[in-house]
C-alpha cells in the first residue's frame, strides 16, 4: 500500500493528538507508510482543500457532524466514520488505525 493520509477530526484538535501518536506508533510497528494528523473541526475544510486525504475519522465528541462530513466527502470518494468510543477512550491507536486501514481497503476493493 502506498503512503496513506489519515485525518482525525475533533472539537479542538487537542484531545486527539495523543491518539495520533499511538496510531503513528502502531503504523510504524506494522510497517505502514501513513501520515496521520488531527485537526479541529473548524480547520477540516481547509485541510481537505489543501491536501489529499485518504480517510477521515471523527472523534466521538463531533459525531453529530458525521452526516455533514459524509455529504461533503462522498463526491470526493473519501470515506468517513466516527471512531469507536471505547477505542477512543482507551486511546487504542492500533484499533483506530485498523479501522482506518479497513476503510481504505473497502474504498479500493
Q: Would you list the domain boundaries of the chain?
A: 4-108
The residues annotated with a catalytic role in the active site are 10
Say if residues 23 and 93 touch (Cβ distance below 8 Å): yes
47-83 in b/e burial notation, b at 16+ Cβ within 10 A?
A: bbeeeebbbbbbbbbbeebeeebeebbeeeebbbbbb
pLDDT at 11 over 80: yes
For the full predicted model, state whether its pTM sits above 0.85: yes
How many helices (H) and strands (E) are present in the chain, helices listed first?
A: 5, 4
Fold of the domain built from segment(s) 4-108: Rossmann fold (3.40.50)
Percentage of the chain modeled with pLDDT above 70: 96
pLDDT at 87 over 70: yes
By DSSP bridging, strand 4-10 and strand 55-58 are parallel
Span 21-67, pLDDT tens digits: 999 999 999 999 999 999 999 999 999 999 999 999 999 999 999 99
Q: In this predicted structure, what is the pLDDT of residue 12?
A: 82
Amino acid at each position: 500500500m502506498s503512503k496513506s493520509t489519515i485525518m482525525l477530526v475533533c472539537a479542538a484538535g487537542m484531545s486527539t493528538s495523543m491518539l495520533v501518536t499511538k496510531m503513528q506508533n502502531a503504523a510504524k510497528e506494522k510497517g505502514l507508510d501513513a501520515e496521520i494528523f488531527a485537526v479541529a473541526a473548524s480547520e477540516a475544510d481547509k485541510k481537505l482543500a489543501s491536501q489529499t486525504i485518504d480517510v477521515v475519522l471523527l472523534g466521538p465528541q463531533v459525531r453529530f457532524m458525521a452526516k455533514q462530513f459524509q455529504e461533503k466527502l462522498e463526491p470526493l470518494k473519501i470515506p468517513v466514520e466516527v471512531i469507536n468510543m471505547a477505542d477512543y477512550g482507551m486511546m487504542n491507536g492500533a484499533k483506530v488505525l485498523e479501522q482506518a486501514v479497513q476503510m481504505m481497503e473497502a474504498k479500493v476493493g
